[in-house]
Amino acid sequence: MDFQDHYANMAVVVRHTAQREPVVEVLEAIYSRHAMRDYAPEMPVTETIQSLVKAAVQAPSAMNLQPWAFAVVRGRDRLTSISDPAKAHLLRTMAAGSPLSSLRERLADPSFDIFYGAPVLIIICATSSEAGASEDCALAAQNLMLAAHSEGLGTCWIGLARPWLNEAMAKEELRLPTGYAPVAPIILGYPKGQPEVHPRQDPEIVWIGE
């Protein structure tokens, strides 16, 4: 039985504890969220973006440092102006044998937009050099993506943008403080079409103890 079948069975079973009712909606969001790479041009309103960021910062944080900040870049033209130098940076710095080598031809295509026409880019940045800051930002990113999905919005983590975003020239262009370290560049917008679904492999589990 794969995870999808397992979840389908869970959804129809009435479960409860003495402490609380089950939150089935969370599992539904986890199993139905997929990366979106095709967006309508409509811009999510400011209040919606703010609510997603508030959901993001409910994530766990080591020692409660909450070492994150959020840069919101809006407008397709603005995102295109970021896509081009990000692609050029990858092509210029790509190491021989890199897993990204398979994308070299696509990255060299002037028509390829690494942000897939999304109207918004939310860059979650680590604001501390403490161990665990990047992990905390990744946890916040997952919260944000699930919250966006629950609001009918699509998201996708664009790892291709991260190397350039951490360059000094990029921070200067975007007016990011030099102490910010971009961790999670997440595009956001209203879905256009259906996301591509990639089945998950069964996880390897090592059971320890009884």
List the pLDDT tens digit at each of the 210 positions of the chain.
Answer: 454 454 444 443 333 333 445 445 888 999 999 999 999 999 999 999 999 999 999 999 999 999 999 999 999 999 999 999 999 999 999 988 888 899 999 999 999 999 999 999 999 999 999 989 999 999 999 999 999 999 999 999 999 999 999 999 999 999 999 999 999 999 999 999 888 888 899 999 999 998
In a domain, 13, yes or no: yes
pLDDT of residue 26: 87
Residue where the block lists tokens 């692609």: 87
In terms of domains, do 38 and 128 share one?
Answer: yes
pLDDT of residue 21: 53
In terms of domains, do 25 and 56 share one?
Answer: no
In terms of domains, do 87 and 168 share one?
Answer: yes
Helix axes 24-32, 133-150, angle to 10 degrees: 100
In terms of domains, do 106 and 136 share one?
Answer: yes
CB 76 within 8 A of CB 42: no
In a domain, 115, yes or no: yes
Angstrom distance (rounded) from CA 178 to CA 91: 24
In terms of domains, do 28 and 90 share one?
Answer: no
In terms of domains, do 20 and 49 share one?
Answer: no
In terms of domains, do 27 and 41 share one?
Answer: no
What separation in angstroms does the CA of 165 have from each of 33, 162, 180, 181, 184?
26, 5, 10, 8, 10
In terms of domains, do 119 and 54 share one?
Answer: yes
pLDDT of residue 6: 47
In terms of domains, do 27 and 80 share one?
Answer: no
In a domain, 205, yes or no: no
pLDDT of residue 2: 52
User: Tell me, what CATH number does 75's domain have?
Assistant: 3.40.109.10
Overall number of domains in the chain: 2
In terms of domains, do 161 and 131 share one?
Answer: yes
In a domain, 60, yes or no: yes
Q: Residue 102 phi/psi, 5° resolution? A: -65, -15
What is the extent of the structural domain holding 22? 1-32
